[in-house]
Amino acid sequence: MDTRQLAAFCEVVDRKSFSQAAERLGVTQPAVSLQIRSLEKRLGTKLLDRSGRRVEPTEAGQRLYRAAQRMLALEGQLFDELEGDVGALRGELELGASTGPGGTVVPVLLGEFQRLHPELSIALSISDTNRVIEQVAERELELGIVGASPRHRGVVFEPFFRDEVILVVPPRHAFAGKEVTLDQLRGEQLILMQDGAGVRQVIEDELRGGPVRLRDLDVKLELGLQESVKSAVAAGYGVTFISRSGVEAELATGTLAAARVKGHEPVREISLVRPAGRSPTRAAEAFVAFARAKLAA
């Protein structure tokens, strides 16, 4: 079976678009359409449903997609072995991360990993948790690293590492270095990450069912970037809950201070997100193994 046709078919399924698949493959849209028609003719069945706004695989197409992923992965391994250099990683690795891990831990891991594999190109995009998950589900990204694990049938989650969520205040704030109650926190302006951010979900879950909910606090600022939240707190515009790993440098230099909320020590699981039913590339598998070893150390 022509693996070029299988590759074109998988790209169309991943992108849900002939034009985007063609752009990804560096060919024309008619060329992709011809490959799909030839594949359907050879197999004697319809593989793609083109009637809706997006291209979707038929039942037969879904079965072929799973098998094609395995065949293409095996083809890549075969080429590596024939080249006699199984250890060399080439091509591209595209990942996404939410603002917490994407602004601190992940860039360092990727920098060290790329230095070990100079022929590999790595691209990291930063979005909120929900957007990263959607991009992985749509096969726009091979891996995601996020701070929450909402249910999504298009992806699978794996534990990656754990991160403490703390209350952060301006350095000369009355709460700095102290333990406070939720009732005391009612009197402070709380700055939150935007809806969809992993840290915000952790705090909502932590307070759910208790006497004080997130909606009971004085939230007047919602900011989209972790850096924006840190800057606003440092300037004295409020306090915030944030990932400890995201503010280690500021805590060390004294531009921000930490406080504890009595009875609450939220810890979030940073998760690895993979597309369901897709065989990982060697580069993705190598990065995950490298990162786990580094984080364990």
Q: What CATH number is given to the structural domain containing 101? A: 3.40.190.10
pLDDT value at residue 80: 59
Q: Are residues 166 and 264 in the same domain?
A: yes
- Indicate whether 197 pLDDT > 80: no
Instruction: Indicate the number of domains in the chain.
Output: 3
- Band of residue 37 on the pLDDT scale cut at 50, 70, 90: very high
Asked if 182 and 211 count as a contact pair (C-beta separation under 8 A), the reply is yes
Cα dihedral angle (126, 132, 135, 136), rounded to 10 degrees? 120
Q: At what angle do helices 18-25 and 3-15 cross, to 10 degrees?
A: 130
More confident residue, 232 or 204: 232
Distance CA 149, CA 57 (A): 26
Last residue of a domain, one of 82, 104, 120: 82
| One domain for residues 127 and 221 | no
* Shared-domain flag, residues 44 and 68: yes
Among candidate residues 47, 231, 14, the one with its CA nearest the CA of residue 137: 14
In whole angstroms, give the CA distance from residue 271 to residue 146. Answer: 5
Q: Quick check: 227 pLDDT over 90?
A: no
Q: Give the pTM.
A: 0.59
Whether residue 196 is found in the same domain as residue 207: yes
Structure tokens at 295: 């984080």
Q: Are residues 156 and 290 in the same domain?
A: yes
pLDDT at residue number 77: 63
Whether 241 shows a pLDDT value over 80: the answer reads yes
Claim to verify: residue 96 and residue 49 sit in the same structural domain: no
Which domain CATH number covers 16?
A: 1.10.10.10
Q: Is the confidence at residue 205, as pLDDT, over 90?
A: no
Of 89-93, 114-118, 164-168, 290-294, give the lowest mean pLDDT range.
89-93
Identify whether residues 197 and 62 lie together within a single domain.
no
Q: Do residues 166 and 265 share a domain?
A: yes
Contact 19, 54 (CB under 8 A): no
Residue range of the domain that includes 255: 162-269
Domain boundary, last residue among 64, 82, 100: 82
Q: With cut-offs at 50, 70 and 90, classify the pLDDT of residue 268.
A: confident
Q: What mean pLDDT comes out for the span 93-106?
A: 87
Last residue of a domain, one of 27, 59, 82: 82
The pLDDT mean for the chain works out to: 87
**Neighbouring residues of 255: CB distance < 8 A, sequence distance ≥ 6:** 171, 234
Does the pLDDT of residue 203 top 80, yes or no?
yes
More confident residue, 2 or 85: 2
Encoding tokens for residue 144?
């995601």
**How far, in Å, CA of 218 to CA of 183, rounded?**
11
- The answer on 241 and 282 residing in a single domain is no
Tell me the average pLDDT across 4-10: 89
Q: Are strands 155-169 and 189-193 parallel, antiparallel or unpaired?
A: unpaired
pLDDT tens-place string over residues 61-72: 998 988 888 888
223 and 240 inside one domain: yes
Say yes or no: 75 and 26 in one domain. Answer: yes
One domain, residues 62 and 123: no
**Distance between CA 204 and CA 200 in Å, rounded?**
6
